[in-house]
Structure 1
Amino acid sequence: MTTENVTGFEGKWEKRWHPLRREWIVYAGHRNNRPWNFGLKSASTKSEAYDPGCYLCPRNSRVHGNANPDYRDVFIFDNDHPVVGLNAPAIDEHHAVLHNGLYQRAAATGIARVVCYDPRHNQSLTDLEVDQIATVFSALRDQMKFFAEHPAIKSVLIFENKGEIVGVSNPHPHCQIYATDFVFNLFQKELDAAKAWRNEKGSNIFADIIAAEQKDEIRIIAENEHAIAFIPFFARFAYEAYVFPKRKHATLITMSDDELKGLAAAFQILTRKYDANFNTSFPYVMAFAQAPVDGELYDDYHMHLLLCPPLRQPGLQKFLAGPETGADTFMADTIPEEKAAELRRITLNVER
C-alpha cells in the first residue's frame, strides 16, 4: 500500500501523464471552490415504473409506429434514428475525394441499436441486481459475437448516456450500440499506446496500470475475484472510473459468465457509491472500450468500462471549455485521490 496521505489534496497543483491517451492532464485542486455565478445543474429524478408516453416502455409505440413487445428483461432493437446504417446514402465517386485528397467523404456505413436494460422505466442499470446486470452484459456479449461476424463492421462502441445533464434523449434506462466500418478514436489511441509501451517496456500497459492501482490501493473503489474498479491516477473527470476484468480480454466475446458477473458486481458497487455520495441517481457517460472486430488479433488489448461523470460537485457540472474544447487538453479541478477517498468512505448496505 502506498504511504501517500489521502487527505490534504486541497490546493494540489500538478500535471500527470495519461498513459493510454499519451497526453498531459493538468490538475488544479484549488480551483474547485472558485466562485460560481450560474445556476447548479440538477441530476435525474425517479419516475414511475411505467410511462405511457415513453417510446421505450413495453407495449408502447415508437416514433415510426412500431410497437415494443411486452418484454421482461433485455430488449434490443435497431435505432429508429440511426447515426450509421447499412442503407446509408452512397457517395458519388466524383464527390468522395476532393482537393487532391485533402477532403474526403464516404457513406456512414454501420449498424445502430438501442438496448433497454429492463422493462421498468425507473430502474437504472445500477438499481438492478447483480445477476440482472450480468444478463445485460451477456446480451451485449451476444451482440459483439454478431458484429464480429459481420463483414461491414470493424469496431463497436457500446455506450450509455445516463441523466438529463449529459443530454440523454429518453430517461428510460438504456444504452446504445454504434457498430461502424472504421475504428473509434479512443480504441485506436489505446492500441497505439499499448504497442508503444510493449516496444519500450516489454510488458502490457493495461496489466501495468492495474498492478500500479493495486499497489497504491488508495484509488480502488471495488474489487472481487474477477474484476476491479478504480479512479485512475490519471483521471480527467472528477469521478472518472475504470472497471476492468482481471483476466485480459480484447472484447466481451471471450468473457465467461462468471467474469461477466464479477464485472457486473464491481460496476454495481462503483455506481451505487456514486449514487450514495450524491444522494441521487448519479449521471455519467459510460463506454465499453473494446478492440476492433476486423478479423485481426489484438492480444495486447484489455477491454474495460470507462465511466465519465460530468459533475465535479453535487449539482455542479464540469464544462469542457477553453482548454478541453479549444486546445484538446484536459484541465481538472479535483485530484483523483480526493474523489476516490470520498467513494471509499461509503459503506453500502449490500455489496455483492
Structure 2
Amino acid sequence: MNWEQRWHPLREEWVVLAAHRNNRPWTGGSVGGPARLVPRYDPTCYLCPGNARVGGVRNPDYRGVFVFDNDLPCVGPDAPADLPEPPPPYRVERASGVARVVCYTPRHDLTLAELGRAGAVDLLTAWQDQFRDLAGRPEVAHVLMFENKGEVVGVSNPHPHCQIYATNFVFKTIANEAEIGGRYWSRERRTLMQDVIAAEQADGRRILAENGSAIGFIPYFARYAYETFVAPKEPHQNLAELSAAEIDDLAGVLEAVLIRFDNLWEMSFPYVMALHQAPTDGRRHEGFHFHIEFHPPLRKPGLLKYLAGPEVGGGSFLSDTCPEEKAAELLAVSTVHYKHRDPAKEADRG
C-alpha cells in the first residue's frame, strides 16, 4: 500500500498519492480503440493547405508553420464594454483579446512528436514571434498558448495545431503561479522552478531528458500519471527570452519527451499542453520561470484519469500512480519514434 501526500509548491496544495489503486478492478467505460489511418492531406480538413475554413476563408498553400486568427474565437477585440451590472455579490467585466490558431505543419498526419528537432525549433521560433507581437499590445495582460491533443480531450481535428489566447485578463493558474513565485523570489532570490529542477537533478529518477540548457521530468508532485514538465534551466519569464541555442536545446528535450510518450503504448499519446509564461500586465513578476506542462489524461491504455469526488468535490487531487514508477516506464522506451524504427535493427537487437 502507498498512501502519502506530496506538496505541489507551484500550486501550494497537497497531492494525495495512492498508487496501489491503479490496479484496482475496473468495470467502467474505456476510451479509444484501433487507431484511425490519417492521410497526409485531408480535403475535408479546415486546417490543411488550400482548404476553406469554417468562415469561408481559404488557407494559403503553406509549407511550414501557419498562423491565423481563429474563425470562432472565444475572445475578441470587439467584446462589449457596456455590460449590465449584476446585483452583489456578483461582478462582471469585459473579456476581450485575440485568439489565434497555429498549424505546426501542412502534413495532416504528423504530430508534434514527429516533427523532428528542426520542426520543433521552427515551431518554438514561431511561438516566440507570436508572443512578442501579442505581449507588446497594451490591452493584453496574458498570452496563453496551449494544445489539446487527442479525441479523449475533446479534439475533433487531428491536424497538428495549437491555440493562442491573448487576453485582457490573466488565467487563474498563471495568476496563482505568479503570486506564489513572487513570494518565493522575495525570500530566496531564486525562482521556485530553479529549486524544483535542482531537486529533480539531485534525485534523478524522474528525469526523462536533459541537455545543456533544458530538462524534462515528471515532477515529484505530479497529479496525472504521466504529467511532465519541460523547462529551460535558466529563469526566463517567457519563451521569447530564450536564445537560439536555448531554443534548440528545448526542442531536443521536447522531442525526446514526446517520442517517449508515443512509444510507451505505440500510439499517438493524448495530452493537454500549456506554456506557462509570465503575465504581460506591466508588472515585473520576478520569480516567474517559463516552462511547458503536459497533462496526459490516460493512466493505462484506454483508461482515463477521471476527476471525481476528491478533485471535483473535495478540491484535492488524488493520483492513482507513483511518479517514480511512471518515469521508469517512459525511460524504458526508445527515443526513436516507433513509426520510424528499422525492423531489421530491432530484430538484431532482440
TM-score, length-normalised on structure 1?
A: 0.92
Structure 1: unaligned runs, 5 residues or longer: 1-10
Q: In structure 2, how many angstroms separate the alpha carbons of the residues matched to 1:29 and 1:86? A: 46
Which of the residues 29, 32, 39 maps onto 2:29?
A: 39
Which of the residues 331, 340, 344 maps onto 1:344?
A: 331
Question: Could you say which residue in structure 1 is the equivalent of 2:75?
Answer: 84
Q: CA RMSD in A?
A: 1.4
Question: Could you say which residue in structure 1 is the equivalent of 2:54?
Answer: 63
Structure 1 residues 303 and 166 mapped into 2: Cα distance closer, same or farther (>3 Å)?
Answer: same
- Paired residues of 1:153 and 1:180 also in contact (CA < 8 A): yes
Which of the residues 212, 222, 226 maps onto 1:239?
A: 226
Q: In structure 2, how many angstroms separate the alpha carbons of the residues matched to 1:188 and 1:300? A: 13
- Paired residues of 1:110 and 1:180 also in contact (CA < 8 A): yes
Encode CA deviations 1:62-99: one digit per residue, 9 max, x unaligned: 1111000000010111111111100123333xx13x32
Encode CA deviations 1:1-31: one digit per residue, 9 max, x unaligned: xxxxxxxxxx322110100000010010111
- Paired residues of 2:259 and 2:336 also in contact (CA < 8 A): no
Secondary structure at the residue paired with 1:221? strand
Q: In structure 2, how many angstroms separate the alpha carbons of the residues matched to 1:126 and 1:225? A: 21
Encode CA deviations 1:289-327: one digit per residue, 9 max, x unaligned: 000112222231110000000000111100111111222
Question: Could you say which residue in structure 1 is the equivalent of 2:8?
Answer: 18
1:104 positional shift:
1.4
Q: In structure 2, how many angstroms separate the alpha carbons of the residues matched to 1:81 and 1:284? A: 22
- Paired residues of 1:117 and 1:174 also in contact (CA < 8 A): yes
Q: In structure 2, how many angstroms separate the alpha carbons of the residues matched to 1:247 and 1:271? A: 22
Secondary structure at the residue paired with 1:57? coil
Q: In structure 1, how many angstroms separate the alpha carbons of the residues matched to 2:103 and 2:190? A: 38
Secondary structure at the residue paired with 2:216? strand
Identity of aligned residues (%): 50
- Paired residues of 1:219 and 1:340 also in contact (CA < 8 A): yes
Question: Could you say which residue in structure 1 is the equivalent of 2:247?
Answer: 260
Which of the residues 54, 64, 69 maps onto 2:45?
A: 54
Tell me the matched-pair count.
Answer: 336
Q: In structure 2, how many angstroms separate the alpha carbons of the residues matched to 1:309 and 1:274? A: 9
Which of the residues 292, 297, 309 maps onto 1:322?
A: 309
- Paired residues of 1:91 and 1:106 also in contact (CA < 8 A): no
Q: In structure 1, how many angstroms separate the alpha carbons of the residues matched to 2:117 and 2:59? A: 25
Which of the residues 65, 80, 100 maps onto 1:74?
A: 65
Q: Match for 1:319: what amino acid?
A: Y
TM-score, length-normalised on structure 2?
A: 0.93
Residue correspondence of structure 1 range 125-140 to structure 2 within 5 A? 125-140=112-127
1:128 positional shift:
0.5
Structure 2: unaligned runs, 5 residues or longer: 338-350
Secondary structure at the residue paired with 1:326? helix
Residue correspondence of structure 1 range 127-206 to structure 2 within 5 A? 127-206=114-193
Encode CA deviations 1:259-317: one digit per residue, 9 max, x unaligned: 11111110110110011011101000000000011222223111000000000011110
Range moving further from structure 2, 55-64 or 31-40: 31-40
Q: In structure 2, how many angstroms separate the alpha carbons of the residues matched to 1:169 and 1:81? A: 15
